[in-house]
């Protein structure tokens, strides 16, 4: 490298530091830091490669350098780094992680040997080891062997991990991440021979990781968005694209006074969304009153909604306020609004438009301040065309519509839903420690779920009660789910690995078919990275 270029970059960087921190200088500061550290990394890579003829030609080495230096996607950069570190240290798995302010394990990315992802990485890390590593002196890794310290770290014993190496990565005094590597019990514990190379690699990675995170923070400040790892919103669970779109609209709608129409099949969580709208509105201190229009007999629904006066009909011994009055200064949720009798739709329209109605048998109008959220699993537009639903009421309700996708269209959310539902079902049935075996989980993902989340909850409760030793297996699932996934049922002709491989191939083909061959879209449907999708496809060849 030309020493003059390096010296000039160093002078510019020192000058920027002397100016202090100013928001307008941030893009310039980051650009100079990137240029300075890119030439350092390029120099180190080329010097290392020059002494190692087996690492490829100069063109190959230059391409490797470009891969590191030109990568703008933080996820891809971390995957590349972890794959390299796992191979360098002969580890089984690697994690880039840290502890959040509340003590929770925050995993940036996780990889295992063979360039593969780690499933559910947060449960695979010892919080105690992570915490202990942060108390090490700067530049000092923490190496733990279960052989030398039996019983000290419960997590690694439960996971049958033989040794762990945890190395905090800092940049300019700020903790960027912790590199967490482990080996299983059959492997030799970590030694210190590779530490100089590991520390050098981490030092080269640190400024790029720091810069990319700062740039991402700046972008987030400019365009606020739902965090990528946000799975729960007011009790509604998911992380698929369609789920996030629904939540994004829900968040915008909630603070307003607009009438909302929620559309979706039975069991998709329409009432949960309605409650989320109420809890995030200006009426959250008021009542939330839910009315199922299907569950109330036709001759009683008017009285239930609008109340009645004393003597209005036989048995009306006193005045009774209806659901609209009970929801005053709050929200009334009209579920299955498509089943409301046609002769009552005009009275509902008046209540929404004028906030006025008459009790059954009453002569004085009643005024009420209430927000209306309605829901249906029927096609109201078609009902309007066949004169089963009033057109003026339809447009009054359909100020803002929310479409809740069926579970079959958000299959990547099923593992999240399972993990969320299990604890509540365990508490209900006096059980604990229930887990779902991989083959059973894959069967759950494959099933079409005509009853949506409600059906999933029922299937899990049944399987939880029937399973042995707290492990839900294929045999614990209903026959119709197994019939829909014949490739993964036990048979004498196929062992488990062959069954799972056949099932994965089936899922890959389905995802590619739905995405019209677009691999990026197929990866999103499956909830995996594009790189991992390519690895799976290559295995099928």
pLDDT digit string (tens) for 379-427? 999 999 999 999 999 999 999 999 999 999 888 889 889 988 999 999 9
- Residue by residue, DSSP assigns 8-30 as HHHHHHHHHHHT---GGGHHHHH
**pLDDT of 226 higher than 50:** no
Instruction: Give the mean pLDDT of the chain.
Output: 79
pLDDT tens string 253-284: 999 999 999 999 999 999 999 999 999 999 99
Overall domain count for the chain: 1
Lowest mean pLDDT among 158-167, 205-214, 411-420: 205-214
Helix orientation angle between 452-466 and 438-446, rounded to the nearest 10 degrees: 150
Specify if 67 maps to a domain: no
How far apart CA 242 and CA 151 sit, in angstroms, is 45
More confident residue, 382 or 155: 382
How far apart CA 133 and CA 69 sit, in angstroms, is 29
Specify if 328 maps to a domain: yes
**pLDDT of 99 higher than 80:** no
Q: What percent of the chain has pLDDT over 70?
A: 73
Specify if 354 maps to a domain: yes
Per-residue confidence (pLDDT) for residue 155, from 0 to 100: 76
Specify if 468 maps to a domain: no
Read off the pLDDT of each residue in 92-118 and give the average, rounded to a whole number.
80
Lowest mean pLDDT among 161-170, 285-294, 391-400, 475-484: 475-484
Closest CA to 522 of 430, 412, 429: 412
How far apart CA 89 and CA 101 sit, in angstroms, is 30
The pLDDT confidence band at residue 494, using thresholds 50, 70 and 90, is very low
Read off the pLDDT of each residue in 294-317 and give the average, rounded to a whole number.
88
Specify if 348 maps to a domain: yes
Domain that holds residue 380: 232-396
Specify if 479 maps to a domain: no
Specify if 287 maps to a domain: yes
The CATH number linked to 265 is 3.40.50.300
Which residues have C-beta within 8 Å of that of residue 517, sequence separation ≥ 6?
none
Specify if 197 maps to a domain: no
Lowest mean pLDDT among 378-392, 457-471, 521-535: 521-535
Per-residue confidence (pLDDT) for residue 442, from 0 to 100: 82
CA 1 to chain centre: 45
């Amino acid at each position: 490298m030309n020493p003059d270029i390096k010296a000039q970059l160093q002078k510019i960087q020192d000058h920027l530091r002397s100016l202090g921190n100013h928001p307008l200088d941030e893009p310039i500061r980051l650009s100079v830091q990137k240029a300075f550290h890119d030439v350092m990394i390029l120099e180190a890579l080329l010097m290392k490669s020059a002494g190692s003829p087996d690492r490829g030609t100069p063109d190959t080495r230059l391409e490797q350098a470009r891969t590191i230096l030109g990568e703008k996607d933080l996820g891809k950069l971390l995957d590349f780094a972890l794959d390299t570190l796992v191979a360098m240290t002969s580890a089984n798995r690697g994690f880039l992680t840290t502890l959040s302010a509340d003590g929770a394990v925050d995993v940036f990315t996780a990889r295992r040997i063979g360039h593969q992802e780690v499933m559910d990485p947060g449960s695979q890390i010892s919080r105690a080891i992570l915490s202990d590593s942060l108390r090490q002196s700067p530049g000092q890794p923490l190496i733990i062997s279960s052989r030398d310290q039996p019983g000290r770290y419960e997590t690694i014993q439960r996971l049958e991990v033989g040794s762990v190496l945890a190395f905090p990565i800092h940049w300019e005094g700020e903790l960027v991440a912790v590199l967490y590597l482990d080996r299983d019990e059959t492997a030799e514990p970590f030694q210190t021979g590779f530490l100089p190379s590991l520390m050098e690699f981490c030092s080269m990675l640190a400024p790029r990781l720091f810069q990319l995170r700062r740039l991402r923070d700046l972008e987030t400040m400019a365009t606020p968005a739902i965090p990528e790892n946000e799975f729960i919103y007011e009790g509604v669970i998911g992380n698929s694209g369609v789920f996030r779109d629904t939540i994004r609209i829900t968040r915008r709608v909630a603070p307003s006074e607009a009438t909302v129409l929620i559309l979706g099949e039975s069991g998709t969580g329409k009432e949960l969304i309605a409650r989320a709208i109420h809890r995030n509105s200006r009426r959250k201190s008021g009542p939330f009153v839910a009315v199922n229009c299907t569950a109330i007999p036709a001759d009683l629904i008017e009285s239930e909604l609008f109340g009645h006066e004393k003597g209005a009909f036989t048995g009306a011994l006193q005045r009774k306020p209806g659901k609209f009055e009970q929801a005053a200064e709050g929200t009334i949720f009209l579920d299955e609004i498509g089943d409301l009798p046609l002769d009552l739709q005009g009275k509902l329209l008046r209540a929404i438009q004028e906030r006025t109605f008459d009790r059954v048998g009453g002569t004085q109008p009643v005024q009420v301040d209430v927000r209306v959220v309605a829901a249906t699993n029927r096609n109201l537009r078609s009902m309007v065309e066949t004169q089963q639903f009033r057109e003026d009421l339809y447009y009054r309700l359909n100020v803002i519509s929310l479409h809740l996708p069926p579970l079959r269209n958000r299959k990547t959310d099923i593992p999240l839903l399972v993990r969320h539902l299990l604890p509540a079902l365990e508490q209900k049935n006096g059980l604990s420690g229930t887990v779902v075996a991989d083959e059973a989980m894959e069967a759950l993902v494959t099933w079409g779920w005509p009853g949506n989340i409600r059906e999933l909850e029922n299937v899990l409760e049944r399987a939880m009660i029937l399973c042995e030793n707290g492990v839900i297996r294929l045999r614990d699932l209903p026959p119709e789910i197994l019939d829909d996934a014949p490739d993964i049922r036990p048979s004498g002709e196929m062992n488990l690995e062959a069954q799972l491989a056949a099932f994965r191939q089936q899922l890959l083909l389905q995802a590619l078919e739905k995405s019209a061959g677009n691999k990026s879209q197929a990866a999103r449907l499956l909830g995996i990275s594009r790189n991992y999708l390519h690895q799976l496809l290559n295995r099928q060849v």
